[in-house]
A and B are shown apart, each in its own frame.
Chain A
């Protein structure tokens, strides 16, 4: 399985933008980049996904490098409710098989 590399933890102030990086240098042409987050005592929550172009939705934006070897999840205005572990995952193959790594623990402070 293609792997991703994320920082273990990041901090942000509330109402400021947050850029969560992810490296995936071994990505193949058909791999989709998925982002999920997990709040304490809850199941993972889908955030966003993309293939080549940048993507926006109501939760976040996903910026994908031109060579697709890295991507950045952008939370435009962090709130305390965004404190969670964020997982960057390459979804490969014809079956949707997510391989979760250790993710980035995001702390949001007042």
Chain B
């Protein structure tokens, strides 16, 4: 059983398109995250939700809109895709918010914008 699963694994699309990435966790966790890993391999947090409520928004462009329909899901919708959005996007979850709670990551979605 995959704990944190993301779909799709690969996403190739053209500039200007709108796309979504889905994430589901079956760990019963309260908190979920989106991270972005760029071409230089730096991992940066984008968003965090706790019990479906947004708690972290790291100055991400408005074209990125996370949605959490329930505690087990956190989807990422991206409007008007740009070349610079090409990266690997990782979803993660933790049992609760707070710095004593380990994160469990999915295996990523590699987004390529052409």
Contact B90 A44 (CB under 8 A): yes
Least Cβ–Cβ distance between A60 and chain B, in angstroms = 13
With most chain B CB atoms within 10 A of its CB, the pick from A97, A98, A99 is: A98
Contact A44 B43 (CB under 8 A): yes
Least Cβ–Cβ distance between B27 and chain A, in angstroms = 12
Task: Determine the interface band of chain B, counting residues with CB < 8 A from chain A.
Answer: 20 to 34
Contacts of A44 in B (CB 8 A): 43, 90, 92, 103, 105
Contacts of A96 in B (CB 8 A): 31, 33, 48, 94, 97-99, 101, 103
Closest to A103 in B: B41
B41-64 with Cβ < 8 A to chain A: 41-45, 48, 50, 55-56
In the complex, what distance in Å separates the CA atom of A31 from the CA atom of B98? 10
Contact B105 A99 (CB under 8 A): no
Interface size on A, residues (CB 8 A): 25
Contact B90 A97 (CB under 8 A): no
- Please give the residue numbers on chain A whose beta carbons come within 8 Å of chain B beta carbons, in ascending order: 30-32, 34, 36, 41-46, 49, 51, 85, 91-100, 102
Least Cβ–Cβ distance between B59 and chain A, in angstroms = 13
Task: Let me know if B19 is at the binding interface, CB within 8 A.
Answer: no
Contacts of B45 in A (CB 8 A): 97-99
Task: Let me know if B66 is at the binding interface, CB within 8 A.
Answer: no
In the complex, what distance in Å separates the CA atom of A43 from the CA atom of B25? 14
Known: A31-B99, A43-B90, A100-B44. A95 touches B105 (CB 8 A): no
Partner of B103 from A93, A94, A98 at Cβ < 8 Å = A98
Contacts of B56 in A (CB 8 A): 95, 97
Contact A49 B43 (CB under 8 A): no
Contact B108 A32 (CB under 8 A): no
